[in-house]
Structure 1
Amino acid sequence: MQKGKTPASLYLLLVLVMASWGLNVTATKVLVAHFPPITMTSFRIFTAAVAVFIFLIAIGKFRFPTKRELGFIAAGSLFNIVLHHYFLASGLTMTTGTNGGLILGIGPILTAVLAAIFLREIISGVQLIGLISGLLGVSLIVLTGGQGLSGASLGDIYVFIAILSQCFSFIIIKRVARTLDTRLMTAYMLLIGSVFLFGTSLVEEPNGLAQMGGHSGMMWLLFLASAIFATAFGNLIYNYAVGQIGPSKTAIFMNLNPFFSLIGASLFLNEQISWMQVLGFLLIIVGVILGSGALPELIRARKRIRTPRKVMDE
């Protein structure tokens, strides 16, 4: 960890990122109803890239990557931005929200398995309990959301490819974190990914550019909020955490996404929250505390607070 950056503050930032990503699901539902999806996504990611580059230049962290680092950046962009966003957008149009949510819910476990294979990270018993608890929580939230669980479809395969691509990108990010600031890598990944997605949009949405105009100021404000808060700084903080505490511990926070998405749908789309979904949220909280390693950090922090008091009393 960097000096001045305590684990507790990083965990709090990750919770805020999950809140922005969860609420962004609601924002995206609104945006794709007005903009062509792939074209809009490429513009949103490009806007996010510009925002991250401005931030990095302001704090003096910008530099050009080496040839070796550029290879990792290209690979990370392919898996994290291009494949993930393309297959997720395509898959969700061909499957139910329940199926999609459950498949996305295996992200933390999938990340932990990939980290064990490629990074030789050890999955502890406590972490495994946390992963299972989080998955159960996600299942309760998604399965009680009003849509039935359907049989496997091509859409399900696409969503699985989307989450597998994203999880594999976390391994790439961790590998290059030793030499390249993951925040800078995020900026380059967003920029390269937006270019590839824009090229895809020209083929799949020939009239996409023409359809981007003529929208209200409120709609563009929502677009900017999604691009800057969720995409730019959400990805920047998340990828930074991957480099600091590892992909498997960071990924456990992804389980919070369905809950914050549920909150957004309740606040802005008037959807109802059931008691089973509240129970699912509690299981997710347990899963995050156990699976992320936050519990030992909290215990150590509490001991550090108590020790000076004892010294002062003596």
Structure 2
Amino acid sequence: MMIWGLNVVAVKYLVEHFPPVMMQSLRIGIAGLCAISILYFLKDLRKLTKREWGLTALAAFFGQIGHHSMLAIGLVETTASKASLILGLIPLTTAIFAMIFLGDRLTKLRFTGILSGFTGVTFVVLNPAEGVAGISQGDMYIFIAMVSQVISFIIIKVATKTLSSRQLTGIMLLIGSAGLFLLSFFFEPGSLGKMSNTNQTVWIVFFSSAVIATGLGHIMYNAAIQKIGAGQTAVFNNFIPLFALIGSFFLLGEPIYLSQLIGFLFIVCGVLLGTGYIEQIWIDRKRKKTRANPVENTYYD
């Protein structure tokens, strides 16, 4: 989460020096090659079934092509701090999708959490002086990127029932890179020739973002999804806005407004309630108490 939080800052820095979609294509392609190379030497590659190819391609479409293209384009027109807070809705949106498509229960606590989370985003994107007019097109792109990432997480959970999360990650990155490369010719004609920046710092940030954040970061995260599930893993996304806010303040000099901090608190509360995290803790404690005092609890029940 720390790596991904700082990566939002890195991508914001990179889109100021490179064409966004082409930059994302090459960055993700490098990450994919590194991931596949590591898996080859670890002998952790195998032939995929048709079903696995289909799920992997679908996850790449939403998680790489959709998410990263919208993220890069959005960061051209909005700040890293606002983007990170909107991306903080990922756990809550994952919970909502699970209710719609997987039949999860909508309890009072979860409904309260959903309201809290989206109230937090309102604080983040609305400028007190401008109101609704303060919402930029970049904010909308980031919101679409967030939803696209959530869809990919649901697909990844299904795919990793039979496929190694590490191999899935590597193939997803390569498919996503190819897709973004093709998209760049439509959105950014001649963009490949504009990737010749000679600033050494820019290239250090570029390769660090590609290898560490996108390559290793996705391998770690998808491995976590495989072990503890999409819902529990998504709870940790709360840390991304925190690290991104700190990074954008110290590294990019972006101001942090009181409304953003208030929004951050609403989003965190919303995620903890909306994902059922607090509710599950309460249920687990009640079960432990019942097991510890079976006679007493039976009497009072």
TM superposition score category, shorter chain reference: 0.7 to 0.9
Larger mean Cα displacement after TM superposition, 108-117 or 141-150 = 141-150
Would you say 1:270 and 2:250 are equivalent positions? no
Q: Find 1:66's aligned residue among 49, 60, 75.
A: 49
- Equivalent residue for 1:249? 232
- 1:89-119 alpha-carbon deviations (Å, 9 max, x no partner): 4455567889866654433222112223333
- Equivalent residue for 1:193? 176
Distance in 1 separating the partners of 2:251 and 2:85? 23
- Equivalent residue for 2:37? 54
Distance in 2 separating the partners of 1:274 and 1:156? 16
- Equivalent residue for 1:12? none
Shift of 1:55: 2.6
Distance in 2 separating the partners of 1:287 and 1:246? 19
Amino acid at match of 1:112: A
Contact 2:81 2:254 in 1 (8 A): no
Amino acid at match of 1:269: L
Larger mean Cα displacement after TM superposition, 204-213 or 140-149 = 140-149
Aligned positions of 1:2-151 closer than 5 A: 17=1, 19-91=2-74, 104-122=87-105, 149-150=132-133
Distance in 1 separating the partners of 2:33 and 2:207? 12
- 1:122-168 alpha-carbon deviations (Å, 9 max, x no partner): 56766666666665666556668998543777666544433222211
Q: 1:205 to 1:282 in 2, by over 3 A?
A: closer
Contact 2:92 2:117 in 1 (8 A): no
- Equivalent residue for 2:299? none
- 1:258-304 alpha-carbon deviations (Å, 9 max, x no partner): 222111111112234456655655666666666584995xx99xx9x
Q: 1:55 to 1:40 in 2, by over 3 A?
A: same
Contact 1:45 1:227 in 2 (8 A): yes
Return 5+ residue gaps in structure 1 as ranges.
1-16, 304-314
- Equivalent residue for 1:224? 207
SS in structure 1 of the partner of residue 64 of structure 2:
helix
Distance in 1 separating the partners of 2:155 and 2:232? 15
Contact 1:256 1:284 in 2 (8 A): no
- 1:202-229 alpha-carbon deviations (Å, 9 max, x no partner): 2322221111114222211110111112
Contact 2:95 2:231 in 1 (8 A): yes
Contact 2:90 2:146 in 1 (8 A): yes
Amino acid at match of 2:40: I
Larger mean Cα displacement after TM superposition, 28-37 or 58-67 = 58-67
Contact 1:97 1:147 in 2 (8 A): no
Amino acid at match of 1:246: G
- Equivalent residue for 2:185? 202
Amino acid at match of 1:271: E
SS in structure 1 of the partner of residue 45 of structure 2:
coil
Q: 1:83 to 1:286 in 2, by over 3 A?
A: closer
Shift of 1:83: 1.8
Contact 1:112 1:247 in 2 (8 A): no
Aligned positions of 1:157-172 closer than 5 A: 158-172=141-155
Contact 2:4 2:213 in 1 (8 A): yes
Q: 1:251 to 1:143 in 2, by over 3 A?
A: farther
Larger mean Cα displacement after TM superposition, 151-160 or 101-110 = 151-160
Distance in 2 separating the partners of 1:50 and 1:243? 22
SS in structure 1 of the partner of residue 133 of structure 2:
coil
Q: 1:91 to 1:36 in 2, by over 3 A?
A: closer
Shift of 1:24: 1.4
Distance in 2 separating the partners of 1:214 and 1:139? 37
Return 5+ residue gaps in structure 2 as ranges.
289-301
Aligned residues: 284
- 1:6-40 alpha-carbon deviations (Å, 9 max, x no partner): xxxxxxxxxxx2x2222112211221111111111
